[in-house]
């Protein structure tokens, strides 16, 4: 019995880059596998890590930006044929993520929409998203079973919207219990990622230890509270000074400060949370050759008395730590 983290992808932002996959992590707890975020290439990274799609139990989405959900369709649909056993279809893959926001956020004079896509439902939640995925792939789901055996498509997925709106509005600071079964307790809080509301961070507690995934956030007190005493904190990291040197102006950087945690801040987050190990992920800039791993670690680890690790695609950690 053990809990194992497998970092599947570590790139920040939607743009594909060479040498890093999009943000995704897997957590193996005994026989079950949980995935946090489904960025670019995550189904391939899942297979590449030697993980078994028949053991995929649940997917947790931090928020509904494309870099976190772009390969959710593949994560559900590619292994569909394997989702069966002696007793028929396997239990549906559970998908958890933010509910619809209360309203569509407005922009400002500089950053604003020109066209509103899907005006009837311009800000769908996770259940809406999965419903639309199934609708969009209805041809595959309805036609492929006519030529090869497929488990009942109706048993493929079950979605739970997480209502973190109250937390996002500051009405409560209490983490939402997302799931609590067979020794895995998952809790979430709303974090601060610009106008992406709600955006969530997740904490997993098992008999072997605890892991927290920041999602995308600026420095956030509720995340620090959620991560208290965790064994591992997987946290996104940006280097604003690099971006400044590469043409991002001050106004844009000020905006980004409401979206992301800078490399000079993340060590303080880990220290205040009292975690044992900080694993950097979802890098901005995302290109592996932009900033050496040692530099990320050196700068991120300032002010943190635990271990700082530059996350990379394929990194593994086993709990309890030996």
28 or 69: CB nearest Zn ion: 69
Least Å distance between CB 81 and Zn ion?
30
Q: Which of residues 191-230 bind Zn ion (CB under 5 A)?
A: 216
Least Å distance between CB 183 and Zn ion?
30
**CA pair distance 23, 215, nearest whole angstrom:** 9
Which residues 6+ apart lie within 8 Å of 218 measured at CB?
Answer: 191, 192, 193, 257, 258, 259, 260, 261
53 or 96: CB nearest Zn ion: 96
Count, residues near Zn ion per rule CB under 5 A: 2
**CA pair distance 208, 187, nearest whole angstrom:** 16
Least Å distance between CB 219 and Zn ion?
16
Residue span binding Zn ion (CB under 5 A) among the ranges 59-67, 124-132, 220-228, 312-320: 59-67
**CA pair distance 174, 63, nearest whole angstrom:** 19
Applying CB under 5 A, does 313 fall inside the site for Zn ion? no
206 or 236: CB nearest Zn ion: 236
53 or 213: CB nearest Zn ion: 213
Least Å distance between CB 66 and Zn ion?
9
Q: Which residues, in sequence order, are bridge partners of residue 281?
A: 236
Q: Of 125, 130, 129, nearest to 164 (Cα)?
A: 125
Q: Which of residues 60-79 bind Zn ion (CB under 5 A)?
A: 67
216 or 277: CB nearest Zn ion: 216
Site for Zn ion, rule CB under 5 A? 67, 216
């Amino acid at each position: 019995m053990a809990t194992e983290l497998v970092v599947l992808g570590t790139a920040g932002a939607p743009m594909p880059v060479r040498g890093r996959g999009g943000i995704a992590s897997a957590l193996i707890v005994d026989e079950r596998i949980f995935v946090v975020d489904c960025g670019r290439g995550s189904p391939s990274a899942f297979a590449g890590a030697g993980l078994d799609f028949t053991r995929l139990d649940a997917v947790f989405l931090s928020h509904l930006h494309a870099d976190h959900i772009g390969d959710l369709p593949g994560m559900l649909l590619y292994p569909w044929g394997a989702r069966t056993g002696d007793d028929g279809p396997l239990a549906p893959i559970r998908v958890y993520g933010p509910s619809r926001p209360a309203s569509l956020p407005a922009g400002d004079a500089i950053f604003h929409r020109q066209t509103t896509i899907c005006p009837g439902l311009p800000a769908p939640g996770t259940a809406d998203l999965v419903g639309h995925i199934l609708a969009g792939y209805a041809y595959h789901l309805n036609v492929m079973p006519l030529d090869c055996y497929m488990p009942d498509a109706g048993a493929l997925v079950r979605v739970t919207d997480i209502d973190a709106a109250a937390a996002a509005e500051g009405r409560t600071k209490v983490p939402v219990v997302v799931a609590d079964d067979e020794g895995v307790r998952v809790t979430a809080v709303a974090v601060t990622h610009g106008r992406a509301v709600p955006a969530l961070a997740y904490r997993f507690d098992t008999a072997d230890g605890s892991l927290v995934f920041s999602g995308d956030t600026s420095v956030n007190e509720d995340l620090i509270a959620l991560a208290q005493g965790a064994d591992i904190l997987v946290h996104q990291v940006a280097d604003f000074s690099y971006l400044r040197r590469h043409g991002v102006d001050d106004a844009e950087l000020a905006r980004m400060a409401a979206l992301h945690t800078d490399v000079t801040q993340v060590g303080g987050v880990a220290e205040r949370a009292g975690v044992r190990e900080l694993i950097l992920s979802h890098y901005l800039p995302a290109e592996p050759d932009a900033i050496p791993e040692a530099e990320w670690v050196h700068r991120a680890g300032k002010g943190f008395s635990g271990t700082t690790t530059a996350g990379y695609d394929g990194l593994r950690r086993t709990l309890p730590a030996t």
